[in-house]
Amino acid sequence: MYNKVMNSPFLNNTIVGLYNTGLSCADIAEIDGRSESTIRLILQSSGIKLRSRSEANKKIADNTLITLYNLGLSCSQIGTLLGIHPTTIIKRFKNIGFPMRSNRTAMAVSYSEREFNEFFCNHNFTEMIIQ
C-alpha cells in the first residue's frame, strides 16, 4: 500500500503543488492525513528542494507578526500559531526595530491559554491572518 501511495503521480503532484504555494510539510500533512515525514519523502522523491527553517520562517511577513503581537499575543503564542520558534520572532522584531512590550504591559494584555486556544487556534483565524 505504501509504495502505491508514494508512486502515485497525482498525489505527488498535488503535494508538490501545495508545497509550492507556500504551505509547510506540517500543513500538508494535516490536510493529507499522512505524517510530516511522509510528506517530506514524497517531496524529496519528486526532486523538490525543501525549504530550510530560515526560509520557511521568512514566508510569514513581518506585518503579520506585528499584527498578531499588537493583538496582545505573546511571541510564544505567535510561534505556536504559526509554527515559528519564539526566539526567531523576537530576533525578527529586533532586526526591524520593532519595540517590544515591557513585562508589566505584557502581563496586562496577555491572553490565558484557554482564551488563546478559543479565539486564535482555529483554521479560520489562521487563514485570515496569513492572507
User: Residue for cell digits 519595540?
Assistant: 99
From CA 108, how far away is CA 102, in angstroms rounded? 10
CA quadruple 32, 34, 38, 44: dihedral, nearest 10:
0
Mean pLDDT (whole number) for 13-36: 82
Confidence class of residue 111 from pLDDT cuts 50, 70 and 90? confident
Report the range out of 44-48, 53-57, 113-117 with the highest average pLDDT.
44-48
Predicted confidence band of residue 131 (pLDDT cuts 50, 70, 90): low
Higher pLDDT, 68 or 106: 68
Is pLDDT at 9 greater than 50 in this prediction?
no
